[in-house]
Structure 1
Amino acid sequence: MTTHRIGPPPPSFDLPPVPGITLPGTAHRRARPRHPAALAAVWAATRLGMLGLLLVDHVGDTGVAGEVYNLYRHWYEQLLQGAFPMGDITWQYPPGAALVFLAPGALPWLTYFQAFVALTLAADAVITLALARAGVRGAWLWVCGLPLLLHLPYARYDVQVTAVAVLALLAVQRRPGTAGALAGLGAMIKVWPVLTVLGTPPGRTTRRAWLSAVVCAAALLAVLMSSFSHSLDFVRQQGARGVQIESLGGTVLQLARKMGWSGTVRYQYGAFEFVGPHVPSVAGLSLLLSVAALCWLLLWRVRALRWTPATPFDAAFAAVLLFTVTSRVISPQYLVWLLGLAAVCLTSRHTTQRTVALLMLPAAALSALAYPVCYDDVLAGTPLGLLLMVVRNGLLLFAALLSCRRLWAATAAR
């Protein structure tokens, strides 16, 4: 005879997770991306479109593609001689960048241009796979956001740098030593990836990550200085930079020009910059704002009381946003960095940056409209060019302030 229970089922006594204790049957399982075939299909379709635009632009070796074909290949040939570019005003990168510019030589059956693009595409795939394993929302943001910059990401080396930063952030919780080493490597390539260890949880994790970053950066610098001459020549060129027309300060000067300011635009140091009265003051103010941003980040680090798994992601994103809007240069490829960090934030349900991350999508689209689509209007300061710069830079400034406010409220506010 079978008996039947009358009434509601007995309550379930699922215990909350206890730090340091793994209950039977509750072992951590890495989240698998939903609809991986759809993600792969969209990645393939959008990347084919980006490559098609790049090949069309490559005709005549001008436009966006000319950076790789002419400048990067020129640096590659110089680096093969055992020396960093000396007296080259366009060389403004830390010595670790040599690794990226020399890497296409590992594919001798391709031209330099083909090899560089192939390696950039591979770095893009690595980012997509890493994000897909960590969280599907972040992967979708990266896959759909990068094509908004058209073919520019494949004609610059920022995708490779972003790959290092993304892998560093995703390794912070489980392998802080590895995360620190990647941050140190990234810092030697383009400085900003060192910010990926800014928000590491205090204690042993921070000590391991920061020490590993310093050791890796110092060791790589020592190797490069012993292998190449003029390793630190980039500092001179970087310090001489002025106010680029696409920066926040450049937008202010562009508005001032409409009101009668006598400054002009000149191509120098590998970019179009403003020259004329008060330009040095605007450049100096930008540097002061960058120092103020650094001071705020240090204050946040000291005052932060609460850490979540997303805090390292949110802190890195906020920091890069701050240094982007206070920079004397806001090139469109900077959005590659911001899209990558925004995508990492979305891999965690604890993030405070969900709205800010989504703002990077219109910012990327506006950046592509400004360059290369409407760059002549930006240079000439036409109403269209001015509107694009005001809206894009205003959006980035708003995003930076909102990011910092949410980071502080979630971690440091009492």
Structure 2
Amino acid sequence: MRRILIGILMTVMFITACSEQNVSTTEKVPGVTDTSIKVGAWLPLTGPIAGHGITQRIGMNAYFKMINEKGGINNRKIEWIVEDNSYDPQKSVSIARKLVERDNVFAIAGSNGTAQNAATFPYFDKVNTPFMPGLGNAPEWWNPVKPYLFGVQVLYENQSRALGRWAAKEGAKNILVVHSDPAYFENQAKNVEPGVASFDANAKVEFMPVKFGTTDYAPIALQIQNSKPDAIVIIQSVDELVALAKALERQSVKIPLYTYAPNVSNDTLDLGSKAVEGLRAMSFTVPPTADIPEVEEYRNALKKYEPDARPDYQSLFTWAEAKVFAEALKQVKGPLTRENFIKSLESMKNYETGILPPVTFSPDNHYGVIDLQPVMIEKGEWILKGDFIDPTKDW
């Protein structure tokens, strides 16, 4: 009888061990079940740049809703959890901890802010959760490579270089760079000068820091008028850009204005009106009005899932980012784990969204896009000014 009982016990233990080995590995992966993938993000939905955050949420949200209605990614639907960080770095850290530890997300996708995202890196260095920021970037993010971090936004510093070269190519000899005073804006602004020098070593560049959130630009416009620049590069938020442009217009100051990609939006057109006519900028994407299938799909999705939203460069960018994120999920080989997802991203080569330039990652390069699209406001609309350019070269 004792031998029989021992035999039964060993059989039960064997069956139990086999059953544990056969349990789907995805049940042990944070944020992944047989039917869903949980993804998190933080965006400035309130505060000084809420307009950016709300628009950026629209694009990624519409893409994930479209994918989910089609059955999801390999039969798993995306659950995208978005928290409001109010453009605050410390609040972003708290949200990151909540998303990873309480909401148990698989990855972070679409989060906004250079300082805001960077503040979370010490935490992500420990948890190693895959992280694809939206708007927000800095050179030190990518060298050395952070194993969990992937980006499809061109460096702000490269945008500034391109703007400086553009102004010099159009004949400017005395260029003023107006920028918000936080350090990350200042770092971006400094790169205008080497861009100018790449075309005209004799052109002069001066800098004017402005307190972030300033609303009264009348005295600043007067100061600019007295310094008599022949081009102004603006590294500020949309509201500040518009306030400066209107103050210059009221004082009948007509100087070519240049700005970076976050300001290529409907808000700039709507708020700036005639004051921003002629504004030059660098864009991440093709226009949201482009007559191509990839952009038409985006516009149709907005009509269906975000019916109150207008097509916009910023929501088109986050739509394209969601497309890259989803493609990497689709191409995962083996069980859906964080490690296999990262390997899938690292194997992405010249992936065509039809919206961004081709996206390429590798184990040694997690910074997937280089090129920018020059655009300009003419008759109240953003129009293309040539093809995509490589801002690191003398285009």
- TMscore range, shorter length: under 0.3
Greater percentage in strand? 2
Greater percentage in helix? 1
Q: TM-score, normalised by structure 1?
A: 0.26
Q: TM-score, normalised by structure 2?
A: 0.27
